[in-house]
Amino acid sequence: MSAAILKEAQSSSQASPRMDSAELGETLVEIRDLEKRFSLSGDFLEQLTFEKGRLRRKQEYVHAINGVTLDVKRGEALCVVGESGCGKSTVARTVMGLLKPSGGEVRFDGTRIDNMAPRDLLPYRRRMQMIFQNPYASLNPRMTIQQTLEEPLRFHQPTLKDGEVRDKIEEVMRSVGIDPDWGKRFAHEFSGGQRQRISIARALAVDPEFIVADEPISALDVSIQAQVLNLMMEAQEQRNLTYLFITHDLAVVEHFGTRVAVMYLGTLCELADTRSLFARPRHPYTQALMSAIPRLHDDKPNHIRLEGEVPTPVNLPSGCVFHGRCPHANQRCRTEIPRLIATDTGQVACHAVEEGRID
Amino acid sequence: MALLEVNNLDVRFAMRGGEVRALRDVSFTLERGERLGIVGESGAGKSVAAFTILNLIAKPGYIAGGEIKFDGEVLNTLKPKAMQSIRGNRISMIFQDPMMTLNPVLTIGEQMIECLKAHRRISRKDARAIALHKLNQVFIPSPEKRLDQYPHELSGGMRQRIIIAIALLLDPDIIVADEPTTALDVTIQAEIMELLLLLCEKHNVGLILITHDLGVVSQVTQRTLVMYAGRVIEQGPTREIINDAQHPYTQGLINALPQMATPGSRLNQIRGSMPTLTKIPAGCAFNPRCDFAANICLEKVPAFAHSGNCKVACHMVDAMVAGERWTPIITDANGNGATPTDSHRTEVNA
Amino acid sequence: MSQSNTQSSNAPVTPKTSSIVVPGRWQRFRESYLVYSFKRDWMAQACLLVFIAMVLGAFLAPWIAPADPYDLASIDIMNSELPPAWMAGGDPAFLLGTDAQGRDLLSTILYGTRVSLLIGFGAVILQALLGVTFGLLAGYLGGRIDAFLMRMADIQLSFSTLMVAIVVGAIIKATFGGAAFSDYALILLILIIGLAEWPQYARTVRASVLAEKNKEYVDAARVMGFRSRRIMFRHILPNTLSPIFVISTVQIANAIISEAALSFLGLGMPETQPSLGSLIKSGFDYLQSGSWWITLIPGGVLIVLVLVINLLGDWLRDVMNPRLYKG
């Protein structure tokens, strides 16, 4: 169904050199009905409980992702936003194969990769890479920068000669703004921003097409955030990269994203191209999220206050997961799970929008 | 006279490699009921400033000079006992992590009552009533129930509300809030900030808000202090600083925000990163990152220049206020001129 | 890129012309916190000095000892039970006196310390090999492998080293005879103590692997497609070295004590190749008759040796401050 919707979504056009949603390429990564549960109950013996005099096996799960369907188009930067616990990082890690999905599938360039044997996955590993949130933990503290960058290259391209490896590393280091002469240093001798550059260099070293970035700038200082974002945008242009960009920062999304997917409690609320989403958020949750961005130039923030708090993902609410906090919820929202429906600019999962109760 | 007056504060840490100067010559004032934002990147010294006001600087840190005057009393020479009667009572603090204030093995009620009884002669029953009243003020649903709950039973946003209630417990004159919403989600962050603003206005409580988020500062505070490498580099009314920052660093900080750029275009970045406190360059600490640096910036620490209602520590602003021409050119020892962008780019932090 | 800024982030952050001096390994070591704190801790310095002196004395024994206690030809039974040189009846040729067989006590102690240290180090190397491997596997792979290895460790720990030694010793003696046991006593003791104490390592390593494996650099390695073995040994293992170093000191001391205890009970080194433990034992029978030196002097050496190793271990733990898994 998404293909049809996406055709509809291709409306606006803009004279920006970066990719716009109007010129979306073919699908590179497909996420279909992705589900991920984490067991809370431990092993078999710990699951046994006595209830009303009978021995029972009781299993509890954290429902981190509940049926997320997303397509990442070649050349775009798809941003996934949401608050902590909404499952956005789990999506990233499942796509990268760091977690096995409990249901659904992940396809890369047409091939299903989520159930592949590690050996068969190797060629895909080279094509998809990841940048992590914490620059202080994502580099091995016992390895020099040179070693950190060389290892993936030698592993994936064992035929490369020493000189070629060195040239390649030098090129990547320069492209992220790290002097190659610093290669013999260890990660702890660099500042947070530089470490994040090195992380990016490590991902770029194997010439990937697709990069998953899990909150890559949220641990950095403001002035450094701009540097890293610029670097990522430059790399995208030069290397024709596709990004799946996970963040909680809507200001960054507005700047960086081609399209935006908003997640709440493991489900996709809304998916639209960035400009339309910011111009006209449809889902009530998206609206609340947008109103909460601290802006520099308005004194009186007109922020939509949400009732209550995010429910736990252990016992999911019935119906729409957002109904408990939604100002527009009615009986249908409490019982029936909304499906993603096409709007003129994207997709939204909300009964109220579907029924025309809110616009 | 201002309620809080910080004069030429100098804080140092005695470390293995020698002394680290965390604060240099920091001065500012806070009027009764005024809301002041302290902005800076990590390592700029903004948290140290907050801790110093409350006299919470622990070894190996110490106050090497300057004074902190609160309501006419000099705090930094006060005996620990006397300081305790001010800390928590007349100046209270909100930390980034609520669990730094909350004791995980005591209920919310016990902690609030204990805090009240430590500072006032009051019965348990009255203390509980005050605690309940304060919880009501921060809009906590079913406050009666919360009093008997443990911190881990509450969500992050709820905990931070309770922290605010505790901070307000003794009707302080000043609340020092150190990154109070950094660990929270955007929607909750907005709520907490609104609440803090509302309560400060309603009870005429002064607020010192320490944050790296210019958006938050612009929404909550009246005056702003920008810190860089242990020094205050710019201070003045928040509006003026946000709309028309004078110091190149403040300008860079504001212009680097994604909301200041056209979506999809390059962000205006400041090159390099802040020096660690052990390796601060001579002259103006910002000079290696500054597009406008000239020879004097490499030699002399700038004094404050008055520009409008703002005080700016920048040689260029000083020259322009005096009506002089400023050429951002650095001449090396051979007398060769070069723009600062490619001549003296020393990486200071690695 | 329509609104390109004045400078590109492509330009290196560091100046191209600068000559960056990257410190070598030796310089890094000299500037490390380890060396810094060592220079300020006289206790650690003294301990290291004593330890090095003992190790040198022990391993240079064939050259510096006045006599060779293994050489039966040089022993004169007439010299037995001579007191130390400074006491009445002492012989200046035997500085610390002689034992019941007439061997020079000083030489015997030097040779004995060598045996004790060999067993201590040997057993610890064996423990570390087994324990680190099992700990890495258990911590990294988790699940059933983890459960199995850790239950093995629990079972192993529930047998005391002594019990294992008695059983193994009895089996070997019964199968190959007492003479064979004496010939291979050194290797057997290393095996016994090594096998009995590997769980200490396994638990410590497992605990730090569990902490390390959730860090993002391990995820990064997995994303690269590296195989488990490479991630375990190349990425995780180097980051668990500090707790391994710290417990190694304690384990060496423990192994030396275990060896002494076994030898004292007659399950360890034979009297023909005495270790500190068997020396203490050989003199024990003469303690009542006034020849205290045969037991007490080697005893003192043993205590000092174990003490300096433990003190060094304490210092190392303070410096490295790892989260120790107290098993």
Neighbours of A309 (CB within 10 A): 17
User: Above 90 in pLDDT, residue C269?
Assistant: no
pLDDT of residue A260: 94
**Is there a contact between B214 and B254 (Cβ–Cβ < 8 Å)?**
yes
The total number of structural domains in chain A stands at 1
User: Above 70 in pLDDT, residue B333?
Assistant: no
C4 touches chain A (CB under 8 A): no
| Residues in Cβ contact with B52 at an 8 Å cutoff, skipping those fewer than 6 apart | B9, B11, B23, B63, B68, B76
Q: Which two tokens stand for residue B127?
A: 């203390």
Contacts 24+ apart (CB under 8 A), A151-159: A151/C224, A151/C226, A151/C234, A152/A202, A152/A205, A152/A206, A152/C224, A153/A205, A153/A206, A155/C224, A155/C225, A155/C226, A156/A122, A156/A125, A156/A126, A156/A206, A156/C224, A156/C225, A157/A206
pLDDT of residue A7: 38
User: Above 90 in pLDDT, residue B120?
Assistant: no
User: Above 90 in pLDDT, residue C132?
Assistant: yes
Residue bearing tokens 């020099």: A144
Helix (H) or strand (E) holding B157: helix B156-168
What are the φ/ψ torsions at residue C267 (nearest 5 degrees)? -100, 0
User: Above 70 in pLDDT, residue B336?
Assistant: no
pLDDT of residue A15: 36
Q: How far apart are CA B280 and CA B303, in angstroms?
A: 17
Q: How far apart are CA C224 and CA C213, in angstroms?
A: 15
Q: What percent of chain C stands above pLDDT 90?
A: 23
Find the range with the poorest average confidence among A45-49, A196-200, B175-179. A45-49
Judge: B194–A303 Cβ closer than 8 Å, yes or no. Answer: yes
* Whether domain C29-66+90-320 has CATH 3.40.50.2000: no
**Reported confidence tier of residue C12, pLDDT bands at 50, 70, 90:** very low
| Average pLDDT of span A125-150 | 90
Asked whether residue A314 is domain-assigned, the answer is no
Residues of A in contact with B345 (CB under 8 A): none
- Classify residue B274 by burial, with Cβ atoms within 10 Å: 0-12, 13-18, 19+: buried
pLDDT of residue C11: 39
Judge: C9–B262 Cβ closer than 8 Å, yes or no. Answer: no
Q: What percent of chain A stands above pLDDT 90?
A: 42
Pairing of strands A103-108, A27-39: antiparallel
Judge: A292–B190 Cβ closer than 8 Å, yes or no. Answer: yes
A259 touches chain C (CB under 8 A): no
C242 touches chain A (CB under 8 A): no
Q: What percent of chain A stands above pLDDT 70?
A: 91
One-character DSSP codes across A82-115: --TTSSHHHHHHHHTTSS--SEEEEEETTEE-TT
**Reported confidence tier of residue C2, pLDDT bands at 50, 70, 90:** very low
User: Above 70 in pLDDT, residue A155?
Assistant: yes
Neighbours of C31 (CB within 10 A): 12
Q: How far apart are CA B290 and CA B320, in angstroms?
A: 16
Q: Which two tokens stand for residue C304?
A: 């000092």
pLDDT of residue C128: 93
Judge: C22–A182 Cβ closer than 8 Å, yes or no. Answer: yes
User: Above 90 in pLDDT, residue B139?
Assistant: no
User: Above 70 in pLDDT, residue B124?
Assistant: yes
Residues of A in contact with B188 (CB under 8 A): 83
pLDDT of residue A301: 57
**Reported confidence tier of residue B23, pLDDT bands at 50, 70, 90:** very high
Q: Which residue of A has its CA nearest to B261?
A: A255
Judge: C5–B271 Cβ closer than 8 Å, yes or no. Answer: no
Residues of B in contact with C40 (CB under 8 A): none
| Average pLDDT of span C108-130 | 91
User: Above 90 in pLDDT, residue A198?
Assistant: yes
Single out the residue of B209, B347, B260, B219 nearest to residue A222, CA to CA. B260
User: Above 90 in pLDDT, residue A45?
Assistant: no
Asked whether residue A123 is domain-assigned, the answer is yes
Is C322 strand, coil or helix?
coil
| Average pLDDT of span A164-168 | 92
pLDDT of residue B228: 93
Q: Where are the domains of chain B?
A: 100-169
Q: What percent of chain B stands above pLDDT 90?
A: 31
| Average pLDDT of span C110-136 | 91
- Among A residues 240-269, those touching chain B with beta carbons less than 8 Å apart: 248-252, 254-256
| C69: DSSP letter | T
Chains A, C: CB pairs < 8 Å: 96
Single out the residue of B197, B209, B145, B195 nearest to residue A305, CA to CA. B195
| Average pLDDT of span B106-121 | 90
Residues of A in contact with C222 (CB under 8 A): 97-98
B263 prior amide bond cis, ω within 30: no
Single out the residue of C19, C4, C26, C45 nearest to residue C311, CA to CA. C45
Q: What is the end-to-end Cα distance of chain B in Å, rounded?
A: 44
Between C81 and A352, the higher pLDDT residue: A352
pLDDT of residue B348: 35
| Residues in Cβ contact with A332 at an 8 Å cutoff, skipping those fewer than 6 apart | A319, A351
**Is there a contact between A243 and A259 (Cβ–Cβ < 8 Å)?**
no
Helix (H) or strand (E) holding A269: strand A267-273
Closest partner residue to B271 (CB to CB) among C2, C7, C15 is C7
| Average pLDDT of span C32-39 | 80
User: Above 90 in pLDDT, residue A30?
Assistant: yes
**Reported confidence tier of residue A20, pLDDT bands at 50, 70, 90:** low
Q: Which stretch, B56-65, C101-110, C112-121, has highest mean pLDDT? A: C112-121
| Average pLDDT of span A224-238 | 91
Chains A, B: CB pairs < 8 Å: 137
Is C67 strand, coil or helix?
coil
Give the CATH number of the domain where residue A123 resides.
Answer: 3.40.50.300
Its domain, for residue A28, covers 2-9+16-42+61-134+143-278
| Average pLDDT of span A72-81 | 93
Judge: C22–A174 Cβ closer than 8 Å, yes or no. Answer: no
What ipTM was assigned to the predicted interfaces of this complex? 0.83
pLDDT digits (tens, 9 = 90+) for B261-317: 888 888 888 888 888 888 889 999 999 999 888 888 898 999 998 888 899 999 998
C3 touches chain A (CB under 8 A): no
**Reported confidence tier of residue C217, pLDDT bands at 50, 70, 90:** very high
- Answer left, alpha or beta for residue B211, where phi above 0 means left and psi between -120 and 50 means alpha: beta
Segments in C65-215 forming alpha helices (H): 105-141, 143-158, 161-176, 178-183, 185-213
pLDDT digits (tens, 9 = 90+) for A91-101: 999 999 999 99
**Reported confidence tier of residue B332, pLDDT bands at 50, 70, 90:** low
pLDDT of residue C28: 76
Order of strands across the sheet that contains A242-247:
A128-131, A210-214, A242-247, A77-81, A259-264, A267-273, A346-348, A341-342
pLDDT digits (tens, 9 = 90+) for A294-341: 777 765 557 777 877 778 888 888 889 999 888 888 899 999 999 999
Q: Where are the domains of chain C?
A: 29-66+90-320
pLDDT of residue C296: 83
Single out the residue of A216, C8, A228, A140 nearest to residue B273, CA to CA. A228
pLDDT digits (tens, 9 = 90+) for B219-267: 899 999 999 999 999 999 999 999 989 999 999 999 888 888 888 888 8
| Average pLDDT of span C266-273 | 78
SS3 per residue for B1-67? CCCEEEEEEEEEEEECCEEEEEEEEEEEEECCCCEEEEECCCCCCHHHHHHHHCCCCCCCEEEEEEE
A191 touches chain B (CB under 8 A): yes
Q: Which residue of C has its CA nearest to A193?
A: C13
Single out the residue of A227, A265, A314, A210 nearest to residue A83, CA to CA. A265
Judge: B268–A226 Cβ closer than 8 Å, yes or no. Answer: yes
pLDDT of residue A17: 47
Residues of B in contact with C319 (CB under 8 A): none
Q: Which two tokens stand for residue A338?
A: 């909304």
Residues of A in contact with C215 (CB under 8 A): 137-138
Chain-centroid distance, C-alpha B143: 31
| Average pLDDT of span B15-36 | 88
Between C4 and B198, the higher pLDDT residue: B198
Asked whether residue A318 is domain-assigned, the answer is no
Residue bearing tokens 């629990």: C154
User: Above 80 in pLDDT, residue C286?
Assistant: no
Order of strands across the sheet that contains A61-73:
A61-73, A27-39, A103-108, A111-112
Is B92 strand, coil or helix?
strand
Judge: C6–B269 Cβ closer than 8 Å, yes or no. Answer: no
**Reported confidence tier of residue C4, pLDDT bands at 50, 70, 90:** very low
pLDDT of residue A6: 39
User: Above 50 in pLDDT, residue B346?
Assistant: no
Q: What percent of chain C stands above pLDDT 70?
A: 87
Judge: C223–A96 Cβ closer than 8 Å, yes or no. Answer: yes
| Average pLDDT of span B25-36 | 92
**Reported confidence tier of residue A69, pLDDT bands at 50, 70, 90:** very high
